[in-house]
Amino acid sequence: MPAHEADHAYAPTGTLPRWRWDLFCRVVDNYGDLGVCRRLAQHLATRGQCVRLWVDDAALLHRMAPELPAADAAFWRAGAAGVAWVHWQDEGDQALDPGDVVVEAFGCDPPASFVARMAHRVSISGNARTTSTDAMAATAAAPRAHDIGHRAPQAPVWLNLEYLSAEDYVARSHRLPSPQASGPGRGLTKWFFYPGFTADTGGLLREHDLPERRAAFDRDAWLQGWGLRATDERRLSLFAYEQAPLEDLLKSLAEETHPAHWRLMVTQGPMQARAQHWLQARPAAAQRIGITALPWLSSQDFDHLLWACDLNFVRGEDSLVRALWAGAPFVWQIYPQHDGAHAAKLQAFWAWLQASALNPNAEHATGQPAHWARTVHPWWQAWNQLTPWPSGAAWPWQSQVPWRQAVSEARNTLLRRPSLAQALLDFVAQQRPPG
C-alpha cells in the first residue's frame, strides 16, 4: 500500500466517554465468530474502552488469544481501557452486573438472568429522573461523563451485531430498534447493527494504524523467516473450508505454462495433507508447485501472509475483510448454507466489488463488467462449487494487474469511512447521553 493512501484514511475527531462493554460470543463452528469478536474487543480497547468478552469455548479462546486475562472484579471496577474474558457457561450464571453497553454477536442471546439485570436498570434510571430535588442536585454535582466509576444509573445500550453481507437488506435493517415488550428484557430496546461495505452500514473491522503498517511491511524479510527467497515464483495463500475443490485447483495450476512455478502457502488444517498427497502422486506437478505448510498463525502473521502473496484464497467473514485490506487479488470461499442462501450473498459481494472498481465514489454503480471481472468470476463460482470447475481453462493470470487495481479501489473507498468499532462508539454516544 503506497504511503499516500494512508493520508486519506478516515480519522475520528474528538473524544468519547469510556464505557464498560459486555461482548457475548458463542462459537458455532470454525473460528470466524470468535475471530470477529476478539478483534472488535481489541479495537474498542485501543479507543479507550473497557471490554469484557464472554466466550463459551474456553479452549479456542486460549488458542486464539492466549494473552487475554480472565475478567475479575478488580478489572471491572477499575474500568480501564483493555480486554478481559469471561467463560460463558449456560449451566451457571456468574451474577455479574451488566456494563454500559451489551453486544450480542450474531444473535447469540445472553443469559436470561443477565438480560433481567439489564432491564432492572431501566427502573433504576427511570426513578432517578423522577425523584426529588435533592436527587436532581446530586446528579448535577456528579463527576463528568468520562469518569466511568460514578455515573448515574442508565439502562445499557443493547446491540445485536449481525453477520457481514453486501445484500440490500443490510442498509434497510441497520440501526433498527426492537423494543422488548415481554420476557426478561421487557422495557429495553435491542438495536440491530450491521457491518457492511457501504456508507449506510456499520463499516468493517479495521485497526487505526493499518494503512501505515501495511505500507511499512517488508515482504522479503517476512518470507525469509519462512525459509523462502524472493524469486519469480507466484505465491498463493490458501485458507479454505474442507469442501473446497483443492485438487481441481492444483490440476489447473499444474497445467499452466506461465508462471513456471507456484508456491502454495497453506494454513494449518486438512488442506495441507490433501495438497501434499495430491502432489506426491504426481511428480511432474510437484516440480511446478511447491507447498509451504504453515503452523497456526497469529492475526498479525495472517495479515503478513496475505500481504506477501500474489493471490489469496480466503474463507469466511473475518478473512474476507483482511483480504480486502491486503489489496491483492483474492478468491473468497463463503460459508456454505444448506438452503443455498450463500449463493445470493456471494453474488451481492461480487456485485459490490465490481461496482467499486468501476466507480469507487458510487455505492451501486451499474454497467458492463470489466474484462478482469468476466474472466475471474467463473473461478469464484467454481471455488464455491456453484458451477462446474472450468476444466481445461487457463487460470486468468492475465487479469492479475486490473484485478489488483479493482481490489485497491474498493479498499481505498472503505478506508475513507469509519471502522466498525468507531461506528459502534458513535452510535452508543447518540443513545447514551452523558450523566
Q: What is the DSSP string of 249-275?
A: HHHHHHT-SSSS-EEEEEPSSHHHHHH
Quote the cell numbers at residue 240. 479454505
Quote the cell numbers at residue 306. 496475505
Distance CA 260, CA 101 (A): 55
Show which residues are catalytic: 33, 317
For 61-108, the pLDDT digits (tens) are 999 999 999 999 999 999 999 999 999 986 556 789 999 999 999 999
Q: Which pTM value belongs to this model?
A: 0.88
Report for 118-122, 192-196, 361-365: range of highest mean pLDDT: 192-196
Q: Is 259 left (phi over 0), alpha (psi -120 to 50) or beta?
A: beta
What strands, in cross-sheet order, belong to the sheet with 189-193?
Answer: 82-87, 50-55, 20-25, 101-105, 157-161, 189-193, 177-179
Residue 374: closest CA among 334, 401, 342, 403: 403
For 146-168, the pLDDT digits (tens) are 445 445 568 899 999 999 999 99
For 174-223, the three-class secondary structure string (H helix, E strand, C coil) is CCCEEECCCCCCCCCEEEEECCCCCCCCCCCCCCCCHHHHHHHCCHHHHH
Distance CA 415, CA 424 (A): 16
For 311-354, the pLDDT digits (tens) are 999 999 999 999 999 999 999 999 998 888 999 999 999 999 99
